[in-house]
Amino acid sequence: MNKILNNKKAIFIFVFPAMLLFTIAVILPIIISTYYSLLDWNGIGKSTFIGIKNYTTLFVNNTDGFIKSVQNSFILAILSVVIQLPLALVLALILARGIKGEGFFRTVYFIPVIISTVVIGQLFMKIYNPDYGMLNIILKNIGLSKYENAWLADTKTALFATFVPIVWQYIGYHMLLMYAAIKSVSEDIYEAAKIDGASAFTMATKITIPLIKPILQVCTVFAVVGSFKSFDLIYILTNGGPLHASEVPSTIMYSTIFNKYMYGYGSAMSTFIIVECLVFTLIIYRLFKEKKIKEA
Amino acid sequence: MGEVKGHRIKRELFSKMNFGYTRKKMNTKSIILFILLLTVTIIQLYPLIWLLLVSFKDNAEIFGGNVLGLPRVWRISNYMSALTSGNVGKYLVNSVIVTGSTIIISSILIATSSYAITRMKWKFSKLTLIIFLLGMMVPIHSTLLPLFLILRQLHILNTYMALIIPYVAFALPMGIFVMTSFLEGIPKELEEAACVDGCNIYQIFYKIVLPLLKPSLATVAIFTYLSSWNELMFANTFLNDPKFATLPVGIMSMAGQHATDWGPILAGLVIATLPSILLYIPLSNQVQKSLMTGAVKG
């Protein structure tokens, strides 16, 4: 058997195409992107090597709103962790402990995840429309007409208006992951607890949640990193506007590269996003590790 | 040992004794929970139901006459014009071509590399796996500019390949992750038996392993479908020619042209969403199972 499994030619044939494609389309671009971030280049003419000057422009006395966009992405990350995850957890707990129609609800809650962001974006644009949008009409009908607003056009509300569909769409995704983890917890523990007189709430908090910590960690990483990378919905709903009120790093990066043709500067932004995601993945990993040790 | 027995006896008595009592208590609680779940269902689904209803209305109803209710007249003409003059039919075909090719090509590459990584013996197998898995953490926007330039150099911008190549590449990490875990759960006996019977490696892979991989291939196909069908950023940047536009891009341009006729645009949105939902509902159990196994193993 070993002789066959050692067959170098076969190994090459099996792995090389994938590796080649992956290197060209993923690894190489990242390396190139990091290199570009050290240049001053408009994409057509010559490029000048300027070292870390792009990064200093980004973070020291920044005037083009990048720091604010990073703050916005942090707000989204916090909202995701504080709203999305608890909601998903509650739903997962209810469904996983057994209730009629479990399969139906599980399927339905996941549907927003598979819908194109373009569709969701257009939908919410219609909901937010100041004249005929669902939101203002509902407010009017229940007598809260004074709260009507041009949600996406008002600099004060635009940012949070874009966050609502983002948070809404992925609740079902996190719920499903948590649901799976809860399902894998052995029933015996619950039965023993029931005999000892534990209530459903105690069982959830003292048994279920501690036992699904690994998946909670995964969900937290997804939610936080996903918020930092968030692009589609904001691009569709406001494209960072009005007046840059709802910019996030990826929308600024996109307009810097493709509208302003500042390839080097934009690459610095994208490199920052990668590093940011890596750093926070490690931070979250560390946070959860400490909790595990504390408990042991 | 005696404790366990005692516990078990306790449990049986407990359930028998309280059967009637706990049953009643469960009912009121579960009704409240049920209502709560139904409310969440409405929140999750209403935007879609609203979209479906609105796609059959005309501008007068959408802009104020009848925003929330059922359409007065079910205008199938919205769909007709979306498909023809709205070009949604063409966008649909393009999406099918791009996503379909992506799924086929990536499945082949994922299956072969996963098999080589888990079963075959070579020095760099672990390293290769780690490299692919690290790819899962890469935000795709960071590759946007270089890929754009690379594809431009290769003169394949504005073709189907401009999307298929990146989509396949980005489908590899998740796919290899899922399939390698799956392969590790398959016993090697069958392959070893085939080896004794005199098969070479290619035959072992093709005739024995591949059929066994079917559930995992389905899972991987689903993930790949999800990441390519709705993909916007690359599609928007690498394809400027409306001839090749996929659904996300096409519909965005339809809506962005300050069109006065919203019915067909909304019909286009429904058409873009329908395949995903139609594919998802029958496969929902499989999709959920795949996400769940992927997550729990991870």
ipTM: 0.75
Q: Residue A124 burial (CB < 10 Å; 0-12/13-18/19+)? A: buried
Q: Which residue of A has its CA nearest to B193?
A: A1
For B2-59, the pLDDT digits (tens) are: 555 555 555 555 444 433 333 444 577 778 888 888 888 888 888 788 778 877 877 6
Tokens representing B297 are 């193993």
Q: In this structure, is residue B245 part of a structural domain?
A: yes
pLDDT at B252: 79
**Among the listed residues B91, B121, B143, B275, the one whose alpha carbon sits nearest the alpha carbon of residue B188:** B121
For B95-138, the pLDDT digits (tens) are: 899 999 999 999 999 999 988 888 887 888 888 888 888 787 77
pLDDT at B103: 94
B50 and B90, same structural domain? no
Helices (H), B55-205: 59-60, 77-83, 88-119, 125-134, 144-153, 161-184, 189-196, 201-203
- Distance from B258 to chain A by nearest Cα, in Å? 13
Q: Which of A22, A116, A137 sits opposite B248 (nearest CB)?
A: A116
B123 interaction partners in chain A (CB closer than 8 Å): none
For B155-195, the pLDDT digits (tens) are: 888 888 889 999 999 999 888 888 887 787 777 787 777 77
B246 and B175, same structural domain? yes
Which residue bears the tokens 């270089």?
A: B146
Q: How far apart are CA A30 and CA A32, in angstroms?
A: 5
Q: How far apart are CA B278 and CA B252, in angstroms?
A: 22
B104 and B32, same structural domain? no
- Distance from A22 to chain B by nearest Cα, in Å? 5
Interface contact A262, partner B, CB < 8 A: no
pLDDT at B269: 81
B176 and B289, same structural domain? yes
Q: In this structure, is residue B223 part of a structural domain?
A: yes
CATH of A64-295, one of 1.10.8.60, 1.10.472.10, 1.10.287.610, 1.10.3720.10: 1.10.3720.10
B135 and B221, same structural domain? yes
Pairwise CB contact (< 8 Å): A30 & B33:
no
Tokens representing A233 are 């919905």
B15 and B136, same structural domain? no
Expressed as residue numbers, the domain containing B48 is 2-54
Q: In this structure, is residue B66 part of a structural domain?
A: no
Q: In this structure, is residue B100 part of a structural domain?
A: yes
B246 and B154, same structural domain? yes
Query: In total, how many domains does chain B have?
Result: 2
B152 and B23, same structural domain? no
pLDDT at A277: 86
B232 and B112, same structural domain? yes
B50 and B139, same structural domain? no
Q: In this structure, is residue B132 part of a structural domain?
A: yes
Share of chain B above pLDDT 70, in %: 81
Q: State the maximum Cα–Cα separation within chain B, in Å, rounded to a whole number.
A: 79
Does pLDDT of A97 surpass 70?
Answer: yes
Q: In this structure, is residue B70 part of a structural domain?
A: no
pLDDT at B124: 84
pLDDT at B287: 66
B39 and B143, same structural domain? no
Does pLDDT of B197 surpass 80?
Answer: no
Pairwise CB contact (< 8 Å): A33 & B110:
no
Interface contact B277, partner A, CB < 8 A: yes
pLDDT at B293: 63
Pairwise CB contact (< 8 Å): A258 & B269:
no
Residues 55-114, chain B, touching A (beta carbon < 8 A): 62-64, 67-68, 109-110, 112-113
Pairwise CB contact (< 8 Å): B115 & A120:
no
Q: In this structure, is residue B61 part of a structural domain?
A: no
Residues 182-201, chain A, touching B (beta carbon < 8 A): 183-184, 191-192, 194-195
Distance of CA A72 to the CA centre of its chain: 13
A240 interaction partners in chain B (CB closer than 8 Å): none
pLDDT at A234: 87
Q: Which CA distances in Å does B50 have to A34, A129, A133, B56, B275?
A: 45, 14, 11, 10, 18
**The CATH number of the domain where B147 resides is what?**
1.10.3720.10
Mean pLDDT of the A7-15 span: 84
B108 and B41, same structural domain? no
